[in-house]
Structure 1
Amino acid sequence: MVDKIQLENGLTLEIWDYSRRLAGDRWLVGLLIQVGVCPKKEDFANETYYNLFMEKTDGKVYYRYRKERHFVPEDQINQLFSTMKEGFLTVALPYLSHPEFKERLIKHEVDLFQKKMDWERSIQEKDAETERLEELWKEKNIY
Structure 2
Amino acid sequence: MAQLIRELPLENGLTLCIFDHTRHYFGDFHLVKLELTCEISLSSAPFDNAAEREAAQRLLGAAAVYRRFVEQMGVPTADVQPTVEQLIGNFTTHSLPYLSSPDFARRFVSAEFERAHKKKSRPTMGYAAGRHD
Q: Which TM-score applies when normalising by structure 2?
A: 0.80
Amino acid at match of 1:85: I
Q: Is the 8 A contact 2:32 2:84 kept in 1?
A: yes
Higher gyration radius (CA): 1
Paired with 1:53 and 1:94, the residues of 2 have a C-alpha distance of: 25
Paired with 1:89 and 1:64, the residues of 2 have a C-alpha distance of: 14
Give 1 or 2: higher helix fraction: 1
Displacement, 1:31? 1.4
Displacement, 1:92? 1.8
Q: Are positions 1:36 and 2:39 aligned together?
A: yes
Give 1 or 2: higher strand fraction: 2
Q: Deviations over 1:17-41 (max 9, x none)?
A: 1101102211000111111112256
**Equivalent of residue 83 in structure 2, options 80, 86, 105:** 80
Q: Which residue does the alignment assign to 2:103?
A: 100
Paired with 1:69 and 1:97, the residues of 2 have a C-alpha distance of: 25
Give the superposed CA RMSD.
2.4
Q: What is the percent sequence identity of the aligned residues? A: 28
Counting matched residue pairs gives 124
Which of structure 1's runs of 4+ aligned residues deviate more than 2 A?
38-44, 49-54
The 3-state SS of whatever aligns with 1:123 is coil
Listed as ranges, the gaps of 5+ residues in structure 2 are 44-49
Q: Deviations over 1:33-82 (max 9, x none)?
A: 111112256446x74x643433xxxx321222211111211111011110
Structure 1 residues 43 and 36, CA, compared in 2 at 3 Å: closer, same or farther? farther
Paired with 2:100 and 2:51, the residues of 1 have a C-alpha distance of: 23
